[in-house]
Structure 1
Amino acid sequence: MKSLKDFKKGAKIKVNDRMQKDYEYEIEADGLGAEASDFNDDGFNPHLTPAEVLKEGVFEGKYLNDCEEELPKEWYEESKEKRVGVGKDPDIELNRFKIKSRQSLVIWRENEWIMGHDPRGWFQWYCRYWLGRRNEEVDKFQKKRWRAFKRHHGQVKKHCKKGDLSCRPKQRQALLQWAYDPFI
């Protein structure tokens, strides 16, 4: 398992998991997440890091469970209480808001939301982008999708009393999975 300190500019990351074999990418950014000089381009300013998203409980505990050789071990250590094992059934109780709030990869593929070398979709792209992988075309596409999701943040703010986390739990869970602050 790699540590966060291993994700430095020029490092080559090899991927061999259940959905992707023999893929490799290079860390191109100097610095992680918002520390990278190009991270917040085009109004892209996620409220949460991938580690914070995973720690809260997302994707019914199933997301990225077979990617431990690719991603930082700290992310797995901090989220171990919110994950199920590889091959285990999803568990809605592991989601922060205890509600299902995702569509299947089949729907993502039908809508052409899967792009580039990220077969798991937006959050996989975000993890890799946060770590420093860059691909101009894919990055532009995914940042645009993230900005479009902001409407859900506005709807929760408009329709819910501040601090009432029982209001719009499905939207809050979705916000969390898109690295927006769901605790508004």
Structure 2
Amino acid sequence: MEINGVSWDENFAPRYTPKEMLEMGIFGGKYFNDIKKDFPSEWFENAKMVKLGEPSDITLNYFKIKSSQKLSQWKEKKWIMTDDHGWVQWYFNYYLGRRLPGEDEIQIQRWKSVIARHTGQIKSEKDLTPKRGQALLHWSWDYRDKPTPEIFKKNLNHIFLSKN
């Protein structure tokens, strides 16, 4: 499928746009301080972020809890294959139209695996832990949704409309 003339894998249906993720609160407000110049400034107008050089602040996270590992741990586990700071930066670049054959398929498969694992463990809203909810948000997913074809279609429509 194409969005604004750029191919988009129809099996990849994140719930939130990068701007929405930043406004909701991810990674203690720290994740993008050193690279935000690489992305549209309007994404950061209402983003919940700390100032450059300040430590992360979990109260800026949507669920007010730490739910991520340090960048050094991601590199150690070889979850980062390019200069991106992990899956989220890859997604933000994918959203903007960058395509990396091979890596895109790997990152989309990682996304699908994380979504399936976490949503499969949530039987009801009572089963949701703030840590799981925040983790899913870091992967652009709403904890209330099951990864079904109907939800994928809804999410892709949302992404498509937001890019126009």
Cα 1:172–1:36 change in 2 (3 A) is farther
In the other structure, the counterpart of 1:122 is: 87
Deviation at 1:65, TM superposition (A): 1.4
Q: Could you list the runs of 5+ residues in structure 2 that have no partner in the other structure?
A: 146-164
In the other structure, the counterpart of 1:136 is: 101
- Residue 5 of structure 2 is aligned to residue 39 of structure 1: no
TM-score, length of structure 2 as denominator length: 0.80
Task: Specify the SS of the correspondent of 2:38.
Answer: coil
In the other structure, the counterpart of 1:20 is: none
Q: Of the candidates 73, 77, 82, which is equivalent to residue 111 of structure 1?
A: 77
Cα 1:45–1:36 change in 2 (3 A) is farther
Aligned residues: 144
- Once residues 104 and 39 of structure 2 are traced to their aligned partners in structure 1, the CA distance between those partners, rounded to angstroms, is 19
Deviation at 1:153, TM superposition (A): 2.0
Contact 2:15 2:140 in 1 (8 A): yes
Deviation at 1:183, TM superposition (A): 4.8
- Once residues 87 and 74 of structure 1 are traced to their aligned partners in structure 2, the CA distance between those partners, rounded to angstroms, is 21
TM-score, length of structure 1 as denominator length: 0.72
**Larger RCO: 1 or 2 (CA < 8 Å, sep 6+):** 2
Q: In percent, how many aligned pairs have the same letter? A: 46
In the other structure, the counterpart of 1:17 is: none
Q: Of the candidates 54, 64, 70, which is equivalent to residue 32 of structure 2?
A: 64
RMSD value, Cα: 2.0
Whichever residue aligns with residue 92 of structure 2, its letter is C
Higher helix share: 2
In the other structure, the counterpart of 2:149 is: none
In the other structure, the counterpart of 1:85 is: 51
Contact 2:65 2:131 in 1 (8 A): yes
In the TM superposition, structure 1's runs of 4+ consecutive aligned residues that sit over 6 Å from their partners are: none
